[in-house]
Structure 1
């Protein structure tokens, strides 16, 4: 079964540029056969002052990050949790870009795991809006405290399970949708099928 061995992950970051900005919070749950077998959640040490907008969105302050886990240790643990599993994320392009750049910087390599992007699947199946909060409402999934990594990870796990029950997500493996008006992404995993997406409006 496709979802028997997955890691659902989510990053909160200091900005939107994966080459320049940093992960400030990460969460991941490793699931085997529909059960959570391990979980990891940490703030990541950040040298500098977070933009006010990031604190507004996430509730995370610069002061909180002073005692966060160091970046290399955090990604080492995350990497062990992911192992050989399929990575699942909502707006996977964002999270995978940060994962790729962090691994490149810290270990001089990237990742080769297959992945599922719940945002791409949602855009194919449903009319706008497609953010995690709205999609959870559509599938009657409880999401408290959006934009904190662990809450988002649990919600994303429930979302991929519900969508797979509705219709198998097997054909969505390694598919990344992008908005036509923004053009092809600058970076994407070598094993990804990158497809333009037309947003449906109800």
Structure 2
């Protein structure tokens, strides 16, 4: 565990996979110090478009569920206060960081500067394929009920993070992002990210 380090574990559910044109429809985040969760935030976000059958199937979120969600601007203002200057943690952080960047650029013409740890990058180094959050949770005997709802995923990621910190020098993974060679690097990453090309390991 990173002693005396404030950590925010966060997750987005989105209307699609393209952060330049799609929107975050659900946010969840927990702010942690040591082993303790000191605050949490979760909300659905108002959305005027249509959701694909795939998104509805994956998340269980329907357009009518978003009618009374927070406005995007309000939701991200609150998220910014939760995050502060903390270390960000996410599973497949390249995805969530990219949506965070593009949303902040659209709303406030600024990006993020926070350091981060990607639990997917750690798991690609340590574990055999597959590396979905569901699979990683199964490996570490972490319960994940209701995957692809943001707060469920956040707490599962937090439990995985605590377990992997017992096995690796977690500080060596700060700002490190791996990507699969066959797909190439992500379209956007923070300028301070250390990109590493990798391949899945199979039994």
Same fold (TM over 0.5): yes
* Residue in structure 1 matched with residue 141 of structure 2 by the alignment: 140
Structure 1 residue 2 displacement after superposition: 2.5
Structure 2 CA distance, aligned partners of 1:48 and 1:67? 14
2:57 corresponding residue in structure 1: 56
Report what 2:73 is aligned to: 72
CA distance in 2, matches of 1:108, 1:161: 34
- The answer for unaligned runs of 5 or more in structure 2 is none
Residue 15 (structure 1) shift: 0.1
What 5-or-longer segments of structure 1 have no aligned partner? none
Partner Cα distance (1:11, 1:119) in 2: 15
State yes or no: 1:198 paired with 2:199: yes
Query: CA separation in 1, counterparts of 2:185 and 2:8?
Result: 26
The 5-angstrom pairing of residues 33-48 of structure 1 reads 33-48=34-49
Note the C-alpha offset of 1:184: 2.1
Distance 2:49 2:114 in 1: 32
Partner secondary structure for residue 16 of structure 1: coil
Number of residue-to-residue matches in the alignment: 202
Alpha-carbon shift at residue 170 of structure 1 (Å): 1.0
The whole-number CA distance in structure 2 between the counterparts of 1:131 and 1:184 is: 18
Structure 1 stretches of 4+ moved >4 Å? none
Alpha-carbon offset, residue 183 of structure 1: 1.4
Partner secondary structure for residue 181 of structure 1: coil
> TM-score, with normalisation over the residues of structure 2?
0.97
The aligned residue for residue 22 of structure 1 is 23
Contact kept? 2:30, 2:37, Cα under 8 Å: yes
- Counterpart of 1:12 in structure 2 is 13
1:173 correspondence with 2:165: no
Q: Which residue of structure 2 lines up, in the alignment, with residue 112 of structure 1?
A: 113
What does residue 163 of structure 1 align with?
164
The equivalent of 1:2 in structure 2 is 2
Q: Per-residue deviation at 1:140?
A: 0.7
2: CA distance, partners of 1:141 / 1:89: 16
Distance 2:102 2:30 in 1: 21
CA-to-aligned-CA distance 1:126-147 (integer Å, 9 cap, x gap): 1001000111111011111000
| 1:87 Cα deviation from its structure 2 partner | 0.3
